Amino acid sequence: MTSWLADDGDFATGASSKGWLASTSGSHKVLRSFGKVRTRVRVGGVEIGGEGFAVIAGPCAVEGAEQVEACAALVHQGGAHLLRGGVFKPRTSPYAFQGMGEPGLRLLADAGRRYGLPIVVEVMDAGQISLVSEQADLLQVGARNMQNFSLLRALSKVRRPILLKRGFSATISEWLLAAEYLLDGGNEQVVLCERGIRTFEPSIRNTLDLSAVAFAKLRTHLPVIVDPSHATGDRDLVIPMSLAAAVSGADGLLLEVHPAPHQALCDGAQALTPAMFQELMRRLPSALAVVDRQLWQSNPTAMAVASR
Ligand code: PEP
Ligand code: MN
């Protein structure tokens, strides 16, 4: 019989002395103390959470064949490792572009295959899981769904890795306990993603919480990546925050890029232009060198040589 905890508990200071971290730390599957070994998540041929730093890039939303082709070519040429693209979009307004749905999924999957890039797609509800997991290599749970527990339970039964974004009003504890749902249900292939939280600061779309990245890396065995696009909402802030994320110990980035950001149907202001994306990819290795890391490479010999 399942033994339930009386309270949810909290990681936060103060609460942690009475909370689930202190009292039950050994039994939570997400914690590092539970499994000493760091989890490495394989997505297609790419590894997230090992020595290499993985870059996921692509448009906020799939908009059409030409746009997806341009994005995939850019992502491939820039040396990023996975292609992202939303086809079911969680939009604040019901009148905003909601995504292309299944035809968009097919466009993204075809482009991914052409360029040898595994694809990352958001699943908004349990009814989309079978369709999306037929094509996508990494299933994304968006910030707005981080505590959709029935979705998490359903995804815990799927044989696909999950990218779990932190909710914009979620504490670190709530985020890690959301991951616990996935692990507890049997899916251990989970990547955490910090994407900015809502604070009192109105000048920037969200506040990038890099301390949460360091905390999650310290306390859990899961890979942690950073989405500086949604964290800032402003393409001019994405390069500095990406470099900072690399130095903070993150295992990768989730970036929005668009061939013509001013024409984007979704999140154009935060999409890197092709030139900015290339600049970032060129500058990332020296930021990673600060923490003795490098971009992920499929060839381990090349990684070993590059690290000398
Ligand atoms: C996204 O990555 O497409 C997205 C909608 O992000 P978030 O869930 O973090 O807002
Ligand atoms: Mn977006």
Look at 60 and 11; give whichever has higher pLDDT.
60
At 250-273, the pLDDT tens digits run: 999 999 999 999 999 999 999 999
Band (pLDDT 50/70/90 cuts) for residue 10 is low
Average predicted confidence (pLDDT) for the chain? 92
Decide if pLDDT at 58 tops 70: yes
Rounded alpha-carbon distances, angstroms, from residue 239 to 108, 134, 254, 284, 287: 25, 33, 12, 9, 11
Ligand 2 centroid from CA 82, angstroms? 16
Q: 3-state DSSP helix/strand/coil percent for the chain, to nearest 5? A: 45, 15, 40
At residue 171, the pLDDT reads 97
Spatial separation of the C-alpha atoms in residues 137 and 119, rounded to whole Å: 5
Decide if pLDDT at 194 tops 70: yes
At residue 3, the pLDDT reads 62
At residue 27, the pLDDT reads 79
Instruction: Give the atom of ligand 1 at the shortest distance from the alpha carbon of 254.
Output: 2
230 Cα distance to chain centroid = 11
60 Cα distance to chain centroid = 13
Band (pLDDT 50/70/90 cuts) for residue 18 is very low
Nearest CA residue ID for atom 6, ligand 1? 142
Mean pLDDT of the region 2-27:
54
Nearest CA residue ID for atom 4, ligand 1? 142
Ligand 1 centroid from CA 75, angstroms? 19
At 62-91, the pLDDT tens digits run: 999 999 999 999 999 999 999 999 999 999
Nearest CA residue ID for atom 10, ligand 1? 143
Instruction: Give the atom of ligand 1 at the shortest distance from the alpha carbon of 90.
Output: 5
Return the top range by mean pLDDT from 3-12, 30-39, 237-246: 237-246
Ligand 2 centroid from CA 169, angstroms? 17
Decide if pLDDT at 34 tops 80: no
Beta bridge partner(s), residue 83? 57, 119
Ligand 1: list residues with CB < 6 Å. Answer: 60, 86, 90, 122, 142-144, 165, 195, 227, 230
**The tokens of 30 are what?**
């997400």
Decide if pLDDT at 297 tops 80: yes
- Residue with the two structure tokens 């060129």: 282
Please state the pTM of the whole predicted model.
0.93
With the most atoms of ligand 1 within 8 angstroms of its CB, the residue from 82, 121, 139, 140 to mutate is 140
With the most atoms of ligand 1 within 8 angstroms of its CB, the residue from 62, 122, 266 to mutate is 122
Instruction: Give the atom of ligand 1 at the shortest distance from the alpha carbon of 140.
Output: 2
At residue 298, the pLDDT reads 84
At residue 299, the pLDDT reads 74
At residue 2, the pLDDT reads 58
Note the ligand closest to the C-alpha atom of 168.
1
Decide if pLDDT at 303 tops 60: no
Band (pLDDT 50/70/90 cuts) for residue 97 is very high
